[in-house]
């Protein structure tokens, strides 16, 4: 039995991934704070909706998907009820395994995960790190849960905040880029729907080339950039506006914000 505690956007995305991967609704428990949310999850997926304490007492694997700011409250509620040896997986930005461990017994293994919303289409990037009481079997079990919904990478926990900034938030940067490019299409007089189609197909094609060709992104970009042509005219403007520096600063800011989150 797997329990997902705090089933909002990420919790629901992970739950739907588990169902697509072959878990039966009867093997999944979820918790929610609002009764209408609980009813919607029960109706849409047929999963069991239970209290946090009930989930903590009975599930073999407990996945925590509340916001970082709600983690201390949730752990205070379930801490006394999580039996020794049960695996707790924390999916919250910024929250360290030490933070979770200090609120559970010494014999509760904790794995930290940072995934992202493409879990909804089985294309997530999930990075995982073991806490002090978690070992190979717990990492392997976490990988088994996450492999069906995308790619999984083990990283040192010291890199988790950086990974959160890169791949956890990553999809948002690409959606933002698409918005900006569609606006550019509008500026050039293109109908919005056509501009969105062109940009979406370009980003999908570029992403698949990047993933499947094994080529470095610089090589792929150079192949598009003809001497004296259109692409270099655009890139000259991007450089003039320090877009690369803006990405470096933005992702560093996201990393720093992640570090602040555990303290509320
Ligand atoms: N969104 C994303 O792209 C990503 C998010 N994350 C991480 O996932 C976590 C969840 O984010 P997200 O799904 O966006 O946030 P949501 O607010 O959508 O989900 C959190 C859910 O937890 C519920 N909740 C809060 N406290 C409790 C409680 N004590 N008992 C039961 N339910 C509770 C909230 O209820 P209510 O609806 O009443 O507020 C909400 O539905 C965060 O820690 C975030 O850092 C990680 C990677 C990507
Ligand atoms: O914005 C956030 O805090 C969460 C963590 C990673 C993606 N979304």
Closest ligand 1 atom, CA of 31?
A: 31
Which of 3, 5, 6 maximizes ligand 1 atoms within 8 Å of its Cβ, making it the mutation to test the pocket? Answer: 6
CATH 1.10.3730.10 for domain 170-261: yes
Q: Give tens-digit pLDDT for 187-240.
A: 999 999 999 999 999 999 999 999 999 999 999 999 999 999 999 999 999 999
- d(CA 203, CA 175) in angstroms, rounded, equals 10
pTM recorded for the entire structure: 0.95
Confidence of residue 264 (pLDDT cuts 50, 70, 90): low
Q: Where are the domains positioned within the chain?
A: 2-160, 170-261
Asked if the domains at 2-160 and 170-261 fall in one CATH topology, the answer is no
Q: Are 13 and 65 in contact (CB under 8 A)?
A: no
Q: Give tens-digit pLDDT for 68-85.
A: 999 999 999 999 999 999
Pocket of ligand 2 (CB under 6 A): 93, 164, 168-169
- Name which residue leads in pLDDT, 262 or 224: 224
Task: Give the CATH fold of the 2-160 domain.
Answer: Rossmann fold (3.40.50)
Distance from the CA of 167 to the center of ligand 1, in angstroms? Answer: 18
Closest ligand 2 atom, CA of 67?
A: 3
Share of the chain above pLDDT 90, in %: 97
Task: State the average pLDDT for the chain.
Answer: 96
Q: Is the confidence at residue 263, as pLDDT, over 80?
A: no
Q: Is the confidence at residue 40, as pLDDT, over 90?
A: yes
Q: What is the largest CA-CA distance in the chain?
A: 68
- Residue 168, ligand 1, Cβ within 6 A: yes
Closest ligand 1 atom, CA of 116?
A: 48
């Amino acid at each position: 039995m797997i329990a997902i505690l705090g089933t909002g956007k990420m919790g629901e995305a992970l739950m739907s991934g588990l169902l697509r991967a072959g878990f039966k609704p009867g093997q999944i428990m979820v918790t929610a704070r609002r009764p209408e949310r609980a009813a919607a999850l029960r109706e849409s997926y047929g999963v069991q909706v239970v209290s946090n304490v009930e989930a903590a007492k009975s599930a073999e694997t407990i996945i925590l998907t509340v916001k970082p700011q709600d983690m201390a409250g949730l752990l205070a509620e379930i801490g006394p009820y999580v039996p020794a040896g049960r695996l707790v997986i924390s999916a919250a930005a910024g929250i360290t395994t030490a933070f979770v461990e200090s609120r559970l017994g010494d014999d509760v293994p904790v794995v930290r995960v940072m995934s992202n919303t493409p879990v909804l289409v089985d294309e997530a990037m999930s990075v995982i790190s073991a806490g002090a009481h978690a070992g190979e079997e717990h990492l392997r079990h976490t990988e088994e849960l996450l492999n069906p919904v995308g790619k999984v990478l083990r990283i040192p926990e010291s890199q988790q905040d950086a990974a959160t900034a890169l791949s956890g938030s990553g999809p948002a940067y690409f959606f933002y880029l698409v918005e900006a490019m569609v606006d550019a299409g509008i500026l050039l007089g293109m109908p919005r729907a056509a501009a969105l189609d062109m940009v979406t197909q370009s980003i999908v094609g570029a992403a698949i080339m990047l993933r499947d060709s094994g080529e470095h992104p610089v090589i792929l970009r150079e192949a598009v950039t003809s001497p004296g042509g259109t692409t270099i005219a655009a890139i000259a403007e991007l450089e003039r506006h320090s877009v690369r520096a803006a990405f470096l600063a933005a992702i560093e800011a996201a990393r720093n914000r992640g570090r602040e989150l555990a303290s509320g």
